[in-house]
Amino acid sequence: MRKLFAKIAVILVLLAAFDVLAGVVLDWLRDHSPDGRYYKTKYSLEACDEDVVVIGSSRGEINYVSQIIEDSLGMRCWNASRGGQGTPYFRAIQEGVLSRYAPKIVILNIDDNDLETQPNYEHAGVLRPFYQSHPEIRPILDKTSPFEWLLLKSRLYAYNSSYYYLIRPYFIQGLDGKTSDKGWKPRLEKMNVEINGDLEPEPNKVPLHPESVALFDTLVHKFQERGCKVFLVVSPNFGRTVSASSAIEYLRKTSRERDIPLFIYSNDTAFITKPGYYVDPDHLNVEGAQIFTQHLIRQIKPLVHSNHLSQHVDTVR
């Protein structure tokens, strides 16, 4: 039995050494990434100091043109959104940002999913490579599993399944948006669908998920507490009207109670009936994103210096 344990120990030591060496290479690749997902996350957590920060999932990443926001508001803007993410990721990014500075304006793109489904901490696992260097995001990632803190001692585990997106920017740049796009991910394609008849009816109401709601409340509260002006936005979907979901009703309530402007575009026919604005039913293409951002900023601009924000709830045409 001693022989078995001795050999297991040798293999574990070799594995640990391999892990450390691989970690050095992987950390280097992460830190020197010319663009792409890891560049973006690193920038959001460690370097961004813009006046305006956009946070959301893929709809946040694709629909909000940072340059338009900068030009219109005369403030610098960074889009810290990331596809496939939800409230756990938003909270982690928030912790990373607030540990350094408080942006003047935060635009939160919130989807029904963000409040109505269980928070997916596993998706926020894309932040694992930053766990060791960013203590502020650890409480979020620790919720992935009870032993996450232990597993994340391994650099190989921290980079689990990340190689494709880690290495890609070294060969092909701009696929997740160029650095000059400041976090925005432009999508050039045009959806080739027309609405056949009426818009899809309002979906059935789904109850809110208390854990997601709690995460969202914390998100809003922490930004407000640090003096950031928060704007809540619901992006449009093609061919579908959503105006009375549980999530939207909760956003309305939050807007009223916390004096936060809310912009609901998911029932705005100027957007939801125009296939030419979309790359797929949930995401706007470049043209749609530009028009959407311009429209939104026209609404936001007068409020930036206003002290009575709650009057402007539901400002959609």
Q: Which of 314, 302, 137, 300 is nearest to 230 (CA)?
A: 300
Q: Beta-carbon neighbour count of residue 135 at 10 Å?
A: 10
- Selected binder of other proteins within 113, 132, 154, 243 (CB under 8 A): 154
Backbone conformation region of residue 177, classed left if phi is above 0, alpha if psi is from -120 to 50, else beta: left
- Selected binder of other proteins within 9, 156, 172, 214 (CB under 8 A): 156
**The token pair that represents 289 in the structure block:** 């994103």
Determine if 160 is a binding residue for other proteins (CB under 8 A): yes
Determine if 188 is a binding residue for other proteins (CB under 8 A): no
Residue count at the site for other proteins (CB under 8 A)? 26
Determine if 278 is a binding residue for other proteins (CB under 8 A): no
Determine if 164 is a binding residue for other proteins (CB under 8 A): yes
Determine if 206 is a binding residue for other proteins (CB under 8 A): no
- Selected binder of other proteins within 38, 131, 159, 278 (CB under 8 A): 159
- Counting beta carbons within 10 angstroms of the beta carbon of residue 48, is it exposed (0 to 12), middle (13 to 18) or buried (19 or more)? buried
Determine if 244 is a binding residue for other proteins (CB under 8 A): no
Judged by DSSP in three states, 298 sits in helix
Q: Looking at beta carbons only, is 156 or 244 nearer to other proteins?
A: 156
Q: Which helix (H) or strand (E) holds 280?
A: strand 278-280
Q: Looking at beta carbons only, is 23 or 103 nearer to other proteins?
A: 23
- Selected binder of other proteins within 73, 117, 142, 157 (CB under 8 A): 157
- Selected binder of other proteins within 71, 122, 189, 225 (CB under 8 A): 122
Task: For residues 106 and 108, give the distance between their C-alpha atoms in angstroms, rounded to a whole number.
Answer: 6
Instruction: Calculate the alpha carbon distances from 200 to 62, 63, 234 in Å.
Output: 23, 22, 17
**Residues in CB range of 135: below 8 A, 6 or more apart:** none
Determine if 171 is a binding residue for other proteins (CB under 8 A): no
Task: For residues 109 and 181, give the distance between their C-alpha atoms in angstroms, rounded to a whole number.
Answer: 18
Q: Looking at beta carbons only, is 10 or 214 nearer to other proteins?
A: 10
Q: Looking at beta carbons only, is 101 or 163 nearer to other proteins?
A: 163
Interface residues with other proteins (CB under 8 A)?
Answer: 1, 3-4, 7-8, 10-11, 14-15, 18-19, 22, 122, 145-147, 154, 156-157, 159-165
